[in-house]
Structure 1
Amino acid sequence: MAKSSASERKLELTVPTWVRRPIGKASELSTVQKIIKQRQIHTICEEGRCPNRGECYAQKTASFLLMGPVCTRSCAFCQVDKGHAPMPLDADEPRKVAEAVKLLGLRYVVLTSVARDDLPDQGASWFVKTMAAIRENNPETQIEVLTADFWGGIQEAGQRNRITIVVKAKPACYNHNIETVRRLQGPVRRGAKYERSLRVLQVVKEIDATIPTKSGLMLGHGETETEVVETMTDLRAVGCDRLTIGQYLRPSLEHLPVQKYWTPEEFEHLGAIAREIGFTHVRSGPLVRSSYHAGEEI
């Protein structure tokens, strides 16, 4: 990726006040961080440098990142490590995640993962193993999954089979993020496709219509309001029930620059449109992320 120009660096310093958030007090963060680090497991809160992690840690919540911290995709917006061989699966990870859930007293857990195109089932069965371990120790805990598209260069039938593995485990919600509008999929989501992501959500509903589905959009890559509304309409057309809309924040100068900071008023406006077209749960704001306050949707 080309190095950023001086003008780009200057632009990145003009971050508006509404997307600035302090990380939080060390005393509020230490409990969750200690539990996670002692077990050598991962959260997307840390690996993705989520701006809400201080708030979430203070409330003793976290979104677990399964199958290691290295992704086999190379999306241009994402902070998660990439570009080298992923780690072997840790056979104890499901148990360790379940222990962390119990110690934190979580009633609602989000399980996500890096993309693992190197694995025969792209990690679908690993979600199920982790869900089973959590339920064994925490039977009242609800589990939301946020999966990759389970494609990995395979045929459509293979993708459906992998989605089926996870759906049959009955998550409380099945989330797959479309991330951006159709026109910007190529430069933003390398290795992913717009129609393929829509199909993930469609297939979930075909297998089990009772499971709520969810997707997320990041604004700031140069999309227009018309394109955002078109994407929301496409999501509703495949039965997507829930939507998150947030601002893309550039993790480093090696990532895509922010093209626009959408205002809180614009986010509120888009949220109202999303509700009008039929989404049952909508969170729209500059610092909203896929799993932000997810447990409040049950």
Structure 2
Amino acid sequence: MSRSRKPDWLKTAPPSGERFTDIKRSLRERDLHTVCEEANCPNMGECWSGESGPGTATFMLMGDRCSRGCNFCDVETGGMEALDKEEPANVADAVADIGLDYVVLTSVDRDDLPDQGAGHFAETIREIKRRDSDILVECLIPDFRGEPDLVRKIIDAEPDVLAHNIETVDRLQWPVRDRRAGYEQSLSVLRQASRESDIFTKTSLMLGVGEYAHEVYQTLSDLRQVSTDIVTFGQYLQPSRSHLEVSEYVHPDVFDTWQRVAEEEFDFQYCASGPMVRSSYRAGELFVESQLA
């Protein structure tokens, strides 16, 4: 079923428009990467254009090659390069040039570095805030192997939202994720952020990788036990034949049900849920809307 015809609800228009072009130009001039491009996100045009709310772009720090090899992810693995010391300033300059009011920072895993890149990540947050303290910064961080001192570096940089994706239910952590990741390890990151700060915490799950409904329900319960504020659900799409196969194309009605369960039964601050939703999908718009509410 992995390469079977996708249902109509998974079709999107190709990215276009003046703002999309301007953002791409600014990124190329500074040799910056976005997870939007590297992971072939289907919502890139909508998020970059800001047509339905505040524009959002997700910058990917520390290069475009990851030290891990998750079976769902389209980012290249191995061949790690030295960190670009100018990247934090270049990202901050790009944010100002593009005129973003909400920016998402994420990164590849850098298990090869002594601090796994936590310091570099934190410096980028600070550079953006130095230029304009009103810009909202969401950081979607690796697990840093669950090491509290490294997670604390991110907390101390004071982002507005700290996100870490648990990706799937406990039973499916492998084969979905790299063996160095793990369910309890991810929960520990979210728990620490909630206990040690007032920063909003956020996570994301993919559906369609073989999970059962009761497992998703348990995952929501576990996430609330560690005081996670925000959760998103999206459909897993196989990037290539060498990646994990799609087990099921989940109907939009099921995503609507999980949104109601998350918000009404488990009292998440908000839940974005739909086949095309990704962890940073319309992140700025959703965050602002939740605060206004």
Fold match (TM-score > 0.5): yes
Letter in 1 for 2:119: S
1:200 Cα deviation (Å)? 0.4
1:27 Cα deviation (Å)? 4.2
1:244 paired with 2:238, answer no
Question: Relative contact order, CA 8 A, sep 6+: which one is greater?
Answer: 2
Letter in 1 for 2:278: R
Number of the residue aligned with 1:21: 12
Number of the residue aligned with 1:122: 116
1:31 paired with 2:26, answer no
CA distance in 2, matches of 1:68, 1:92: 12
Number of the residue aligned with 2:87: 93
Greater Cα offset, 136-145 or 252-261: 136-145
**Match 1:65 to one of 57, 60, 65:** 60
Q: Secondary structure at the match of 1:62?
A: strand
Please list every run of 5 or more consecutive structure 1 residues that lacks an aligned counterpart in the other structure. Answer: 1-7
Q: Secondary structure at the match of 2:72?
A: coil
Deviations 1:127-185 (A, max 9, x none): 1111121122222101111100001xxxx6xx000011110111101100000001100
**Match 2:189 to one of 171, 188, 200:** 200
Deviations 1:217-246 (A, max 9, x none): 000101011111111110001010100000
CA distance in 2, matches of 1:241, 1:138: 25
Q: Secondary structure at the match of 2:278?
A: coil
Number of the residue aligned with 1:214: 202
What TM-score results when the alignment is normalised by the length of structure 2?
Answer: 0.93
1:114 Cα deviation (Å)? 0.3
1:142 paired with 2:136, answer yes
1:279 paired with 2:273, answer no
Instruction: Quote the RMSD (CA, aligned, Å).
Output: 1.2
1:123 Cα deviation (Å)? 1.0
Percent identity of equivalent pairs: 44
CA distance in 2, matches of 1:270, 1:24: 28
Greater Cα offset, 27-36 or 176-185: 27-36
Following TM superposition, where does structure 1 have runs of at least 4 consecutive aligned residues deviating by more than 3 angstroms?
none
1:183 paired with 2:171, answer yes
Greater Cα offset, 45-54 or 21-30: 21-30
Deviations 1:177-225 (A, max 9, x none): 00000110010001211000000000112211x1111100000101011
Q: Secondary structure at the match of 2:25?
A: helix
Please list every run of 5 or more consecutive structure 2 residues that lacks an aligned counterpart in the other structure. Answer: 289-293
CA distance in 2, matches of 1:263, 1:242: 22
1:98–1:138 CA contact under 8 A, matched in 2: no
CA distance in 1, matches of 2:33, 2:220: 31
1:13 Cα deviation (Å)? 3.4
Aligned length: 281
1:57 Cα deviation (Å)? 2.0
Q: Secondary structure at the match of 1:130?
A: helix
CA distance in 1, matches of 2:119, 2:208: 34
CA distance in 1, matches of 2:103, 2:248: 32
What TM-score results when the alignment is normalised by the length of structure 1?
Answer: 0.91
CA distance in 2, matches of 1:218, 1:61: 21
Q: Secondary structure at the match of 1:203?
A: helix
2:56–2:282 CA contact under 8 A, matched in 1: no
1:28–1:54 CA contact under 8 A, matched in 2: no
1:72–1:116 CA contact under 8 A, matched in 2: yes
1:61–1:104 CA contact under 8 A, matched in 2: no
CA distance in 1, matches of 2:60, 2:242: 23
Number of the residue aligned with 1:293: 282
2:143–2:189 CA contact under 8 A, matched in 1: yes
Number of the residue aligned with 1:132: 126
**Match 2:47 to one of 48, 51, 56:** 56
